[in-house]
Amino acid sequence: MNAPEIANKAAELVGGDRAESHGDMHQHFAHVAALWSAYLKLEQPMSVADVPHMMALLKIARTKSGSINVDDWIDGAGYLACAGEVSTKEYRR
């Protein structure tokens, strides 16, 4: 797959089936941020954007620990796109 194909597939997933199955992105990441913050006993809670950033890092880590799986790159691109969306929404609030 080339870069535009990876980006297009990520866009399809973010705006398609996964959006339908996981619900509102901002709300979902807010719930995850609250749970991770509590689990890690953080003094400063994670932001909504921290969640997709960390998920993208997970996908990057997977590229270093096994065979090449294009899904890791697609999902990583999707998570970074989500981080961009929730970050710009937070900034405008």
More confident residue, 24 or 35: 35
More confident residue, 88 or 22: 88
| HEC readout, the chain | CCHHHHHHHHHHHHHCHHHHHHCCHHHHHHHHHHHHHHHCCCCCCCCCCHHHHHHHHHHHHHHCCCCCCHHHHHHHHHHHHHHHHHHHHHHHC
- Separation between Cα atoms, residue 74 and residue 87, nearest integer Å: 20
Q: pTM for this one?
A: 0.86
The tens digit of pLDDT for each residue in 48-90 reads 999 999 999 999 999 988 788 999 999 999 999 999 999 987 6
Phi and psi at residue 82, to the nearest 5°: -65, -40
Mean pLDDT of the chain: 90
Residue with tokens 């807010």: 30
pLDDT band at 93 (very low <50, low <70, confident <90, very high): low
